[in-house]
Amino acid sequence: MFKEELKNFNIILASGSPRRQQFFKELGIDFEVRLKPVDEEYPNRLRHFEISDYLAQLKSLPFEDDLKSNDILITSDTIVWHNNEALGKPQTAEHAFEMIKSLSNTTHEVITSVCFTTPIFQKTVNATTKVTFKDLTDSEIRHYIDICKPFDKAGSYGIQEWIGQIGITKIEGSYFNVVGLPTHLVYETLNNLIS
């Protein structure tokens, strides 16, 4: 359905995430992947979705001089918001353990921002999902880190992986947002852009 409407546009996904790339395929979007490095730092004053919005927009900056008139560049960023701070990707196994331990028996928020950039405008949307974990044991957390090595994931976990299957008791909002892309917002925003 999407292919016909988007045939006059070149969709560029600036993400190395295999999960995000798979979502684009499943949505029926023809796209190319282009990657450019960016230092993912943000001002300390930012809170909640302001952080992911800022980072999604920041990731578009290296491309601004390269975009042609029919290009739509899509950049995104996901954070886990817990106890009034953003949890990024863990540096070590011990760091991952501490993060997951802090999420145990609590509810946190997963926020993903998606930025759509063309040569003449930019639009950023975001989604927030509340996720509740059961009281996880230390051995469950260590087992998960050993088998899944979640070092590329904000908050040190993937909802679609073992820890999500055995540990998540409640979710409010988009499941796909927690995996890494609010697919309903991508679909809706692209539809609005091309209509």
Does 1 have pLDDT greater than 60? Answer: no
β-pairing verdict for 31-33 and 10-13? parallel
Place 160 in a pLDDT band, splitting at 50, 70 and 90: very high
Structural domains of the chain, ranges and CATH numbers in brackets = 2-194 (3.90.950.10)
The terminus-to-terminus CA distance of the chain in angstroms comes to 14
Place 194 in a pLDDT band, splitting at 50, 70 and 90: confident
pLDDT of the residue at 10: 95
Judge contact between 59 and 38, C-beta under 8 A. Answer: yes
Q: Which residues contact 142 (CB under 8 A, 6 or more apart)?
A: 97
* Total-model pTM: 0.93
Task: Note if 77 is an active site residue.
Answer: yes
Ranges of beta strands (E only) in 88-148 are 107-117, 122-133
Mean pLDDT to the nearest integer, 56-67: 96
pLDDT of the residue at 2: 65
Query: For the segment 13-40, what is each residue's pLDDT rounded down to a tens digit?
Result: 999 988 899 999 999 999 999 999 999 8
Q: Which of 53, 77, 146, 152 is catalytic?
A: 77
pLDDT of the residue at 131: 98
